[in-house]
């Protein structure tokens, strides 16, 4: 939740073709890119930023087999142990007849589990609020936030971004975590300190 | 732009007009921010009216019992289950567009998937009403759930196709809803970030779950969508397969056939696409989205209609042939007398179905007709009537004359409350759809943006330049660029 307040140099690009080399150059210079916010998924940007592959699909698989086992073990327990019901003289352990429900529960567990995991990992929920570096990051701008440390010379970063093709550059002090809040109100996780 | 996204100039653009990213946002989001038109209000109030009439019909049915409908002991399913199967079928096109076409990497799905998925959810909501209210004592509906109860516990029958249906439909609804809503998050965030009023900021802020557009989140989102598509694909096939099991696992002549699962799935996609056409032809006109739902989109869907319509036709003929070839007198009687005999009580419905589903879609072999809006709209209605009659034929003509001639039914026709219930689900469907069209982005904004530079009209012209380049040089440049 809490990430603390940090200082960022924020550069906004209006073309993904300019963004790609910029990302590459910024990283080559040794600056730390906090994140890039884009209005739509850009293929290859995660690799360019050096992010590792997501393993959300592995989680999906685990949820799926949980669903399969839940369905199969529950139905077997009900029909062979708890209440063996004679249905047309057919075997109590009627595996072929259980395939449809087993399949449905496999899909259900996997889908629900994956979406919940996704929301958890990305901290997505109603009434969750985060700092937005640029309102047009969900419209038509590709927003790169570079984290500043004590050693960073922001002037240098800014002129570097200018050269890389950023259309808008500014410095922001932002909270990196999320907090409970509403978008119609100005709410912050931390009280703004003096000096910023 | 990686090499994979390159599109040939031979293909027509999927996004017309001179657009940039902001223009796309503007075109799709601005209707949400404006007051709805007069036409919207008229449509919405008519839908609500139908919904209220449906609610009253259901009230009659619950208060006075199933006898309010004209169903009887011989024809216990009547219009009710016909409507159920019809609505479930309608839903299938949405999943086909959003999931199967995603796996096949069909770019044109981006223009229509959002509305089609919404249609799926609303159609499944309507479908669910029928078996629930058909229970009669609807306050006992929770008996279909396998929960530890004080009656033994007496569990539900896991071997019964009717219970499979409960699981299939509820899973289908849940997964479709999750798929649809996870796709909506980024677009709702777009609405939130350009909102001017406080209320809109609050509502879309809550609805968009604090989406920021972070690269890591997009990476997970892409992976999630892909896996959900992979799950939905067998799911959608399983749902109508299981619905067909309601019939196919019985021993009623006319139902007891192994061809039902594929035949039902093809029919479902067929009717679903027809409904998508009906809705989108109106939506694109009323909301001015001709640049996003182009003639190319309509043509692509008409191709699916002629394909699935022909599969359905093939299934009808196979079924008829096997009924004769199988030499089962009951089966053959159901087909030759109850259905194919035009002069039998319900013969007309069989031939109406044949005409609407098999003969009429063949018009779409002509490119000119596939790209004609009026013809498409008219055909979409014809197909939906035909597919409704398919379910009617399957249900009524198979059971109105059963094994015991003394219990043969007199001519079954629905009562006003049975019709009212059906109209009520139209009310529910369109009320939901009107609200959706007003308050949600009807086109997946982020997805359109992601294909804009490969298939947008103006960008295609630029790509022609690229095409002239030397292939090796182009490859090196593009691959270098991506990494």
pLDDT at residue A190, rounded to an integer: 67
Q: How far apart are CA B130 and CA B133, in angstroms?
A: 5
Q: What are A35's two structure tokens? A: 């994140």
pLDDT in tens, B134-155: 998 999 999 999 988 888 788 9
CATH number, span A5-53+126-180:
3.30.70
Residues of A in contact with B229 (CB under 8 A): none
What count of Cα atoms within 13 Å lies in the side-chain half-sphere of residue B180? 27
Confidence grade of residue A26 (pLDDT, cut at 50, 70, 90) = confident
Q: What are B448's two structure tokens? A: 């359109």
Residue among B164, B193, B205 minimizing CB distance to A184: B205
Nearest to B124 by CA among B57, B170, B78: B170
Q: How far apart are CA B256 and CA B36, in angstroms?
A: 50
pLDDT at residue B61, rounded to an integer: 92
Confidence grade of residue B467 (pLDDT, cut at 50, 70, 90) = low
Task: Name the pTM for this structure.
Answer: 0.91
Residues 6 or more apart whose Cβ sits within 8 Å of residue B477:
none
pLDDT at residue B4, rounded to an integer: 47
- Burial of B346-376, coded b for 16+ CB within 10 Å and e otherwise, reads bbebbbbbbebbbebbebbeeeeebbbeebb
B152 min Cα distance to partner chain A (Å): 8
Query: Where are the domains positioned within chain A?
Result: 5-53+126-180, 56-121
Count the helix, strand and coil residues of chain A and give each as a percent rounded to the nearest 5.
45, 20, 40
Query: Average pLDDT, stretch A41-50?
Result: 88
Query: Average pLDDT, stretch B165-172?
Result: 94
Residues of A in contact with B214 (CB under 8 A): 35-37, 122
Contact between A44 and B242 using a beta-carbon 8 Å cutoff: no
The domains located in chain B, with CATH, are 3-146+153-455 (1.20.1630.10)
Confidence grade of residue A64 (pLDDT, cut at 50, 70, 90) = very high
Is the Cβ–Cβ distance between B400 and B255 less than 8 Å?
A: no
How far are the Cα atoms of B43, B52, B418, B439 from residue B48, in angstroms, in the given order?
Answer: 9, 6, 18, 17
ipTM of predicted assembly, 2 dp: 0.92
Q: How many CB atoms lie within 10 A of CB B116?
A: 26
Number of residues that make up chain B: 483
Q: How far apart are CA A93 and CA A113, in angstroms?
A: 29
pLDDT at residue B392, rounded to an integer: 93
Q: How far apart are CA B479 and CA B108, in angstroms?
A: 25
Residues 6 or more apart whose Cβ sits within 8 Å of residue B156:
B143, B144, B145, B146, B163
Contact between B205 and A121 using a beta-carbon 8 Å cutoff: no
Contact between A40 and B449 using a beta-carbon 8 Å cutoff: yes
Is the Cβ–Cβ distance between B54 and B423 less than 8 Å?
A: yes
Q: How far apart are CA B236 and CA A162, in angstroms?
A: 50
Cα torsion at B111, B116, B118, B122 (round to 10°)? 160
How far are the Cα atoms of A53, A91, B70, B409, B424 from residue B416, in angstroms, in the given order?
Answer: 59, 45, 9, 19, 12
Residue with tokens 């940007």: A45
pLDDT at residue B208, rounded to an integer: 93
Angle between helices B161-193 and B215-248 (to 10 degrees): 150
How far are the Cα atoms of A12, B147, B236, B238, B467 from residue B268, in angstroms, in the given order?
Answer: 47, 32, 10, 12, 41
My answer on whether omega of the bond before A19 falls inside 30° of 0, hence cis, is: no
Q: Which of B228-232, B244-248, B270-274, B288-292 has the lowest mean pLDDT?
A: B288-292
Contact between B159 and A111 using a beta-carbon 8 Å cutoff: no
How far are the Cα atoms of A142, B104, B180, B315 from residue B443, in angstroms, in the given order?
Answer: 21, 20, 12, 35
Is the Cβ–Cβ distance between B349 and B393 less than 8 Å?
A: yes
pLDDT at residue A4, rounded to an integer: 78
Q: How far apart are CA B13 and CA B19, in angstroms?
A: 12
The answer to whether residue B463 scores a pLDDT higher than 90 is: no
Q: How many CB atoms lie within 10 A of CB B92?
A: 29
Q: Are strands A178-180 and A128-130 parallel, antiparallel or unpaired?
A: antiparallel
Express as a percent the part of chain B with pLDDT over 70.
93
Q: List, as one string, the DSSP characters of B69-107.
A: SS--SSSSSHHHHHHHHHHHHHHHHHHIIIIIHHHTT-T
Residue from B33, B192, B218 whose CB has the most chain A CBs within 10 Å, to mutate? B218
Q: What are A14's two structure tokens? A: 């209006």
Residue among B158, B168, B221 minimizing CB distance to A97: B158
Cα torsion at A186, A190, A194, A195 (round to 10°)? -100
How far are the Cα atoms of A22, A39, A169, B264, B307 from residue A15, in angstroms, in the given order?
Answer: 11, 11, 15, 47, 40
Q: How far apart are CA B21 and CA A15, in angstroms?
A: 10
pLDDT at residue A119, rounded to an integer: 94
pLDDT at residue B478, rounded to an integer: 63
Contact between B218 and A41 using a beta-carbon 8 Å cutoff: yes
Query: Average pLDDT, stretch B322-336?
Result: 92
pLDDT in tens, B341-385: 999 889 999 999 999 999 999 999 999 999 999 999 999 999 999
Contact between B190 and A118 using a beta-carbon 8 Å cutoff: no
pLDDT at residue B8, rounded to an integer: 67
How far does CA A141 lie from the centroid of its chain?
Answer: 19
Q: How far apart are CA B455 and CA B448, in angstroms?
A: 10
Residues of A in contact with B192 (CB under 8 A): 138, 183
Contact between A47 and B483 using a beta-carbon 8 Å cutoff: yes
Nearest to A129 by CA among A172, A176, A194, A74: A176
């Amino acid at each position: 939740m809490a990430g603390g307040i940090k200082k960022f140099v924020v550069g906004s690009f209006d073309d993904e073709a300019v963004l790609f080399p910029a990302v590459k150059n910024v990283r080559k210079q040794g600056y730390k890119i906090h994140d890039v916010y884009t209005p739509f998924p850009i293929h290859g940007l995660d690799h360019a930023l050096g992010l590792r592959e997501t393993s959300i699909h592995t989680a999906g698989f685990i949820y799926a087999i949980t669903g399969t086992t839940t369905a199969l073990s529950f139905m077997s327990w009900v029909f062979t142990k708890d209440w063996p019901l004679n249905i047309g003289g057919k075997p109590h352990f009627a595996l072929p007849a259980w395939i449809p429900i087993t399949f449905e529960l496999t899909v259900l567990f996997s889908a629900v589990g994956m979406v919940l995991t996704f929301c958890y990992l990305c901290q997505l929920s109603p009434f969750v609020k985060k700092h937005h570096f640029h309102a047009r990051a969900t419209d038509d701008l590709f927003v790169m936030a570079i984290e500043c440390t004590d050693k960073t010379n922001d002037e240098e970063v800014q002129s570097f971004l200018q050269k890389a093709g950023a259309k808008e550059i500014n410095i922001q002090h932002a909270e990196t975590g999320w907090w409970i809040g509403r978008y119609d109100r100005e709410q912050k996780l931390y009280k703004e300190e003096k000096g910023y | 732009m990686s090499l994979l996204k390159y599109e040939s100039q031979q293909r027509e653009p999927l996004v017309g007009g001179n657009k940039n990213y902001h223009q796309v946002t503007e075109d799709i989001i601005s209707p949400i921010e404006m007051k709805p038109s007069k036409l919207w209000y008229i449509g919405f109030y008519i839908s609500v009216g139908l919904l209220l009439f449906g609610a009253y019909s259901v009230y009659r049915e619950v208060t006075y019992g199933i006898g309010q409908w004209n169903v009887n002991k011989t024809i216990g399913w009547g219009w009710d289950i016909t409507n159920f199967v019809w609505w479930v079928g309608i839903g299938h096109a949405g999943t086909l567009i959003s999931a199967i076409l995603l796996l096949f990497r069909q770019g044109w799905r981006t223009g229509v998937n959002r509305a089609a998925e919404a249609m799926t959810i609303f159609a499944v909501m309507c479908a669910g009403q029928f078996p629930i209210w058909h229970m009669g004592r609807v306050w006992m509906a929770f008996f279909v759930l396998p929960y530890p109860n004080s009656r033994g516990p007496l569990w539900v029958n896991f071997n019964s196709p009717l219970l499979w249906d409960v699981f299939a439909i509820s899973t289908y609804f849940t997964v479709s809803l999750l798929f649809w809503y996870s796709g909506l998050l980024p677009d709702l965030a777009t609405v939130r970030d350009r909102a001017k009023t406080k209320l809109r900021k609050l509502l879309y802020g809550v609805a968009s779950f604090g989406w920021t557009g972070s690269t890591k989140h997009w990476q997970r989102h892409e992976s999630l969508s892909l896996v959900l598509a992979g799950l939905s694909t067998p799911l959608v096939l399983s749902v109508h397969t299981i619905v067909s099991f309601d019939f196919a696992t019985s021993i009623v002549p006319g139902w007891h056939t192994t061809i039902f699962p594929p035949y039902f799935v093809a029919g479902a996609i067929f009717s679903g696409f027809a409904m998508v056409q009906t809705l989108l032809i109106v939506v694109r006109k009323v909301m001015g989205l001709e640049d996003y739902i182009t003639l190319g989109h309509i043509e692509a869907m008409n191709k699916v209609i002629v394909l699935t319509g022909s599969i359905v036709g093939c299934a009808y003929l196979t079924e008829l042939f096997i009924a004769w070839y199988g030499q089962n007198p009951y089966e053959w009687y159901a087909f030759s007398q109850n259905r194919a005999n035009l002069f039998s009580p319900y013969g007309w419905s069989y031939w109406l179905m044949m005409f609407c589903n098999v003969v009429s879609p063949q018009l779409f072999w002509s490119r000119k007709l596939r790209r004609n809006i009026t013809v498409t709209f008219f055909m979409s209605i014809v197909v939906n009537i035909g597919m409704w009659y398919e379910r009617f034929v399957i249900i009524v003509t198979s059971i109105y004359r059963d094994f015991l001639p003394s219990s043969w039914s007199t001519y079954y026709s629905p009562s006003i409350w049975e019709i009212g219930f059906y109209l009520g689900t139209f009310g529910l469907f369109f009320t939901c759809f009107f609200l959706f069209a007003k308050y949600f982005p009807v086109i997946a904004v982020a997805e359109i943006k992601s294909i804009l530079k490969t298939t947008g009209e103006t960008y295609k012209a630029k790509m022609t330049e690229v095409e002239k380049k030397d292939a090796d040089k182009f490859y090196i440049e593009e691959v270098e660029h991506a990494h």
